[in-house]
Amino acid sequence: MEYSRPNLIPVTAGCLGLSGFAVAMLAGVASNNPADIVLTRAILSLVACSPLGAGLGWIFEIIITKHQQTVLQELAASHGHHGQHGHHNHHGHHGQPGHADGEAETDHNPNMEASKRAA
């Protein structure tokens, strides 16, 4: 089973838009402004913050995609390096059986291995 991460553009757009809406609502209510003004400003904040969140999500997508490509290239190179010397090994990294945390190897997932190394 292969891991597929969500697209961050709509996620960050929604989060930032709703955050802007909530902040505007709280600020308006705390200021004792009339309800129509509070709602108008909150909706304007939602409309203004959503594209900012989408732009931020787009930047995140670029960074994560480039990092994923780098990690996958490094993994391919390291597996190619082991194969050149005839030491191809199905027991995990550095000749140790299973994974670093002691679990048996079930599925080879470069994304999960990369995140374990980064942690």
pLDDT tens digits, 55-84: 999 999 999 999 999 999 999 888 876 555
Cα–Cα distance, 11 to 97 (Å, whole number): 38
**Span 40-45, mean pLDDT?**
97
> Does pLDDT of 92 surpass 80?
no
Among candidates 26, 30, 25, which has minimal Cα distance to 43?
Answer: 25
**Per-residue confidence (pLDDT) for residue 87, from 0 to 100:** 47
What distance lies between CA 97 and its chain's CA centroid?
Answer: 29
Question: Average per-residue pLDDT in the chain?
Answer: 79
Cα–Cα distance, 77 to 18 (Å, whole number): 43
DSSP one-letter code for 90: S
What is the model's pTM? 0.59
Q: How many helices (H) and strands (E) does the chain have?
A: 3, 0
**Span 90-119, mean pLDDT?**
48
**Per-residue confidence (pLDDT) for residue 81, from 0 to 100:** 63
Q: Is 29 helix (H, G, I), strand (E, B) or coil?
A: helix
